[in-house]
Structure 1
């Protein structure tokens, strides 16, 4: 049989009034019909200050606060095999009974767990067989197994022995059980990783530890709500952390982690593996459980070797007058990159571009160190009024002969030279 701890025996507390033992409920409407000594005794026992309250609600007042729990101090032995969950330790009490009239000798006992993937030996007495089991006697032993797989499991127990006629006999027994997942882990990842633990068991789970182990390229910090300023004993709570309760049959608890990339992945290395969770818990009677999730993967990340962005764009841009756009080039790799060339790529359309480079059409940039940045200015000029876009700012690595994706379009507003227009209008008036 499965060896597991007992459960609490719970009784629904039921209180009554001593008057109910002598008089009927219908006499409660007439106080004069109830013996005075019973009425006084009833109300003194229930600590009632008023002797005129004959409502039934006073008859169900608990004598002690602990009575509301309904725990009489008794324990109940398990009446069924029960459920087995991943991460628990499975204990089994096995008894070999000799029901014959003669002794069984030289008994080799084996016990193993069989799953879809492997066979795990729990007990093997081949090297030291049990010498004998007398008629009507038995041999008992306990096996245990840390459950690490889901699905069907089979506990196989075999006995190879000599009977009373010295004939070698073989007795196999098979016990099948299913292993379920105690927790549902769901994650959501963008800038943060949100983990939702859901209790799939029929008992409360007290989480001792839920730790996220990030992949080598990541670092993770768990985000917690700030404690209220009126709370005391913060140091004590941090040292002696109370377990987190996840209630039975669907209770959930959320964990939030902030992830930060520490280095870019190398070629051939998985780029979307974030890490895994290490979870330990206990049930109502302290039975331990532990679980390690598979690798948690995020959305596929497209890694860039460089990052080109606009740092400063003039707020006032005058038609056909040069203006400067300040740009920043960042090396996102662990090696030197460059030197570079920067230019404005041509569009497929035959329409003239609204913004062009003023002066030399190509700008040379030096080598950029690993994880370093370089700021530079690009001299541009606009040929059209109104809302325009700066498109096609492209970076080319002259060493690797590689062209990177252009900078996303920048929107600008091009206005006329108001001062020149005002001078021209004044000269016409004169």
Structure 2
């Protein structure tokens, strides 16, 4: 047989699309007993059944065009299992906890796990060693994850100033961003996984939102300290407010209020806010919860209760 002139074409068929893999270059000529090798690289982005379709079209020395196909079927399994949890803090920050589990049959090395935040938030990674070298991970220089083992990552997202000034926009900002994960298998093969857009549950502020604006981290036993709260009217009607301070219940009361209970705060218009200065006296050492704030809406005779609003550490003053 004399020379053959042919074209090789490869396509990858998935459950959703057909992807061409080969370049349609010049038709090669093959002499008798010659072979043609071609290496194709493709980043697999879908799980499930894949079919590699290889087709060879060639022209015989008698100018007869012929072709044949071969099919190679294989399964693409999910290499990682990613679980996420969201925590909405009183400071309007959002904390994302991501758990990445290796569900392959061999160990992998995680090279990068980062959060690409949306334009509404600024992200800070909390996975580096405090006081260590720049970008030094808490998992060490090489983060090897054995089969069925997992790693947990924590990120803090701070809303942009344009969001914090408008509670309606802040509660509607549910798109957080995407996780971008890069790893290598035990044979050095590189893999990458990018999640879809992560969404948090929109916070429900109710009719009134009470947040702590100023609070010391450490206070001393039997010495009064101050905190400042902020009250925001989040509903669409005016509110006449009265604040009451309830004493702690039980034999081990750590904090007691110092001040007038049942104080009138006046009328608060929709979307308006006011600052509420308060004073407490610590009676027991340790980490103490601030509870017992009651705000009553005079018009509806409805009382809003705020317990476990914040925590403060109480210690003895050094002598």
Assess same fold via TM > 0.5.
Answer: yes
Give the structure 2 partner of residue 258 of structure 1: 156
Match for 1:157 among 54, 57, 72?
A: 54
Q: How many residues align?
A: 248
Match for 2:188 among 286, 290, 296?
A: 286
What secondary structure does 1:177 align onto? Answer: strand
Give the structure 2 partner of residue 408 of structure 1: 304
Relative distance call for 1:287 and 1:343 in structure 2 (3 A) is closer
What secondary structure does 2:39 align onto? Answer: strand
CA displacement at 1:103 relative to structure 2 = 2.8
TM alignment of 1:109-120, pairs within 5 A:
109-120=8-19
CA contact under 8 A between 1:331 and 1:373: conserved in structure 2?
no
TM alignment of 1:91-110, pairs within 5 A:
101-105=1-5, 107-110=6-9
Q: Does 1:123 align with 2:22?
A: yes
Match for 1:196 among 99, 107, 112?
A: 99
CA contact under 8 A between 1:108 and 1:124: conserved in structure 2?
no
CA displacement at 1:375 relative to structure 2 = 4.8
TM alignment of 1:20-169, pairs within 5 A:
101-105=1-5, 107-125=6-24, 128-130=26-28, 132-169=29-66
Match for 2:174 among 258, 265, 272?
A: 272
Give the structure 1 partner of residue 80 of structure 2: 183
Please state which structure has a larger fraction of its residues in helix.
1
CA displacement at 1:238 relative to structure 2 = 3.4
Q: Structure 1 unaligned runs (5+)?
A: 1-100, 312-325, 345-356, 378-388, 396-402, 412-430
Distance 1:177 1:201 in 2: 16
Relative distance call for 1:265 and 1:213 in structure 2 (3 A) is farther
Relative distance call for 1:104 and 1:367 in structure 2 (3 A) is closer
CA displacement at 1:181 relative to structure 2 = 1.3
Q: Structure 2 unaligned runs (5+)?
A: 89-94, 214-227, 243-261, 279-292, 308-319
Distance 1:366 1:222 in 2: 39
CA displacement at 1:213 relative to structure 2 = 2.2
What secondary structure does 2:192 align onto? Answer: strand
Distance 1:393 1:251 in 2: 52
CA contact under 8 A between 1:265 and 1:271: conserved in structure 2?
no
CA displacement at 1:303 relative to structure 2 = 4.9
Give the structure 1 partner of residue 316 of structure 2: none
Distance 1:250 1:129 in 2: 48
CA displacement at 1:295 relative to structure 2 = 2.1
Structure with greater Cα Rg: 1
Relative distance call for 1:139 and 1:271 in structure 2 (3 A) is same
Distance 2:306 2:100 in 1: 44
Relative distance call for 1:169 and 1:270 in structure 2 (3 A) is farther
Please state which structure has a larger fraction of its residues in strand.
2
Give the structure 1 partner of residue 209 of structure 2: 307
TM-score of the two chains, using structure 1 as the length reference: 0.48
TM-score of the two chains, using structure 2 as the length reference: 0.62
Q: Deviations over 1:47-99 (max 9, x none)?
A: xxxxxxxxxxxxxxxxxxxxxxxxxxxxxxxxxxxxxxxxxxxxxxxxxxxxx
TM alignment of 1:320-359, pairs within 5 A:
328-330=230-232, 340-342=238-240
What secondary structure does 2:21 align onto? Answer: strand
Distance 2:76 2:167 in 1: 37
CA contact under 8 A between 1:217 and 1:265: conserved in structure 2?
no
What secondary structure does 2:136 align onto? Answer: helix
